[in-house]
Structure 1
Amino acid sequence: MSRKPETPEFLPREEKFRKIRWMADYQFGRGAGKVLFPDTCKFIVSPKTGRIRQITDKGIRIATLKASSGWFSLSIEGAKRIKDFFEYPRNRVVVTNEVSEFIADGKNVFAKHVVDVDENLRAGDEVVVVDEDDNLLATGKAVLCASEMMLFNRGIAVNVRAGVKKYLDQV
């Protein structure tokens, strides 16, 4: 028998939920797992390994579990859930309203446009990008830590993965 019941890919559904929720709580903060991944979610698994690759809810991708790092990358729907759950400025990078259209189009965030940021963010963290009115613009990966984003006037602060405009066009 080639199956090993103790490996993650062969865990029961409830155990998979427990693990991914725990991972989301660790990555984004307590409570994020339940908000991101309600019981209605479905798993898309790798055909080769059987490991979870994406989590969807009602046909909409919420997050992708990165094989290289073990971290979640958020879709716009996942970013919306995180933004709505956590109080401002948790997990957020705030940009000036003047560049909000560019960011919503999926363009990267430059440090000179950052006006506020969650002080606990580190380089490499998955972040939610919002405007000064806390409107969701994009999701991406922080290139700089929080203090560098506020201090620097040059360089990319966030590599934007997805802008909200492309998401709205698809829905």
Structure 2
Amino acid sequence: MKKNKEVNRDLIKIRSIANYQFGKNIGKMLFPENSIIVKSRNTGKIRYIYHNNKLLATLRAKDGLLALTLDGAERILKVKTLRCKIKIKNEAAKYVIEGKNVFAKHVIEVNEDLRPQDEVIVVDEEDNLVAVGKAVLSGEEMKAFKHGVAVKVRRGKLN
């Protein structure tokens, strides 16, 4: 019985982090009831979250926030109010999908509230998932700048 309560508490915790990081009610959509939570053997802290044998996210020890995988991003991509979504030009998408970084001049749409170091989902003009990564610039800077890296891509859909 204790094990079940602990799993439930962990699920509530990661859902709360997802809600904080990505927006209201995202946690439930990203992590369903039957998600598997893997903890570190050494520290006992949450490290990975799986669903149907697919890694959805990693809980970063550095800042306690989630790093999404492509499978995790796919689960929440259709949310209209998703603040971590960045739309880029199709001409740049063919490079970003291979794992190349996103440059500010290729950003078409971005939430101005986005901050540097925020986790982001990169999509093309048709809202197809291209990559996941970390913002280097704020949303305002991405719109204003014409030079420089806007997103450091962690994983492109093809790499």
Q: RMSD between aligned alpha carbons?
A: 1.8
Partners of 1:119 and 1:40 lie apart in 2 by 35
What is the aligned partner in structure 1 of residue 34 from structure 2?
40
Paired residues in the alignment total 158
What is the aligned partner in structure 2 of residue 150 from structure 1?
143
Q: Give CA deviations for 1:23-82 in whole Å, capped at 9, x if unaligned.
A: 110110011110111012101111101111010111110000000110100000111112
| Identity score, percent | 45
Q: Give CA deviations for 1:127-146 in whole Å, capped at 9, x if unaligned.
A: 11001111110011000001
What is the aligned partner in structure 1 of residue 14 from structure 2?
20
Contact 1:93 1:114 in 2 (8 A): yes
Structure 1 unpaired stretches of 5+: 6-10, 167-171
What is the aligned partner in structure 1 of residue 71 from structure 2?
77
Task: Give yes or no for the alignment of 1:121 onto 2:114.
Answer: yes
TM-score relative to the length of structure 2: 0.93
What is the aligned partner in structure 2 of residue 137 from structure 1?
130
- Compared with structure 1, are the counterparts of its residues 28 and 88 closer, same or farther at alpha carbon in structure 2 (3 Å cutoff)? closer
> Runs of 4 or more off by more than 6 Å in structure 1?
none
Contact 2:22 2:82 in 1 (8 A): no
TM-score relative to the length of structure 1: 0.87
Structure 2 unpaired stretches of 5+: none
> Which structure 2 residues correspond to residues 83-102 of structure 1 after superposition, within 5 A?
83-84=77-78, 86-87=79-80, 90-102=83-95
Residue 46 of structure 2 aligns with an amino acid whose one-letter code is I
